[in-house]
């Protein structure tokens, strides 16, 4: 994993910028979005070009759909995430269903859930 360090950091930086573009609705203003992307940290030898306008619009559309689905959920309702796997034998990987009631309503719920599991009392957990 260490040999992938700069690639992971690069991916995190680009994802963070695209999320900011979505939150500020800059997908509708490509000049502003492109300027924001151009200011994103990248390693000396980037693993890919910056996302294109079409890619940014597609990702912002997906984020919008996910946000609408999340906001329309009621407590106790479950959500399933499906992640497409790259490659010729690509399969969709499904994660276990969890209910909204099991998580806090925030973007870092997975981090907090992992922390809670890590610090759980082994006698009662």
For 25-34, b/e burial (b = at least 16 CB within 10 A) is ebbeeeeebb
pLDDT tens string 16-65: 999 999 999 999 999 999 999 999 998 888 888 999 999 999 999 999 99
Looking at residue 62, what is its pLDDT?
A: 92
| Mean pLDDT across the chain | 76
Residue 63: per-residue pLDDT = 93
Domain residue limits, the chain: 1-72, 74-125
| pTM, 2 dp | 0.60
Q: Give which of 98, 96, 95 is closest to 83, Cα–Cα.
A: 95
* Beta bridge partner(s), residue 92: 84
Nearest Cα residue to 75 out of 104, 98, 97, 100 = 100
């Amino acid at each position: 994993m260490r040999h992938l360090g700069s690639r992971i950091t690069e991916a995190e930086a680009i994802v963070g910028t695209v999320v900011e573009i979505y939150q500020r609705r800059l997908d509708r203003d490509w000049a502003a979005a492109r300027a924001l992307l151009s200011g994103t940290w990248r390693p000396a030898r980037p693993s890919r070009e910056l996302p294109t306008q079409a890619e940014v619009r597609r990702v912002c559309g997906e984020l919008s759909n996910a946000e609408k689905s999340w906001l329309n959920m009621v407590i106790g309702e479950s959500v399933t995430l499906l992640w497409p796997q790259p490659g010729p034998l690509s399969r969709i990987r499904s994660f276990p269903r969890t209910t909204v009631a099991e998580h806090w309503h925030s973007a870092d719920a997975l981090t907090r859930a992992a922390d809670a599991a890590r610090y759980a009392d082994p006698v009662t957990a």
